[in-house]
Amino acid sequence: MTNNHTTKTELRIDEGGRWLLRSTSTTVCLLDLDAMLLSRRRGPGSPAMPYDDEWVPLVEVASTRGDTGVIRVGDRHRFLTDPVPASDEHRWWIPRTCTAIEPLEGDA
């Protein structure tokens, strides 16, 4: 799927494409929605977490307002991932409030 080359205020995960999510933190979230993958890129001053800088399978996205499958600027979101598909253990991450949704260009 081809990315829309403009910044968005709302993104449905079924739209596909590759996206960069910014928040009030220096850490960013990369999404490859065609492959349903997430990569957390830790910024300066942010704590390290397991699987930083790795692409992991994305299972679900839910906002703290209760929506599932949609990401909005101004909301916080819970990302549920399955970094070890052979196990029964999923991991979740709730970044700070989303401030921008941008197309991800090139290799990340």
pLDDT at 107 over 60: yes
For 75, the token pair is 């909301």
State the Cα–Cα distance between residues 77 and 75, nearest whole angstrom. Answer: 6
Res. 1 pLDDT band, cuts 50 70 90 = very low
Q: pLDDT tens digits for 15-30?
A: 999 999 999 999 999 9
pLDDT of 3 higher than 50: no
**The pLDDT value given to residue 88:** 83
Q: What is the pLDDT of residues 65-86, one digit of tens each?
A: 899 999 999 999 999 999 998 8
Task: Give the residue among 86, 88, 64, 59 at the shortest CA–CA distance from 75.
Answer: 64
Per-residue tokens: 43: 């910024």
Integer-rounded Cα radius of gyration of the chain: 13
The answer to whether the beta carbons of residues 88 and 80 sit under 8 Å apart is: no
Tokens 């991450």 map to which residue? 93
User: How confident is the model over 29-61, as pLDDT tens digits?
Assistant: 999 999 999 999 999 999 999 999 999 999 999
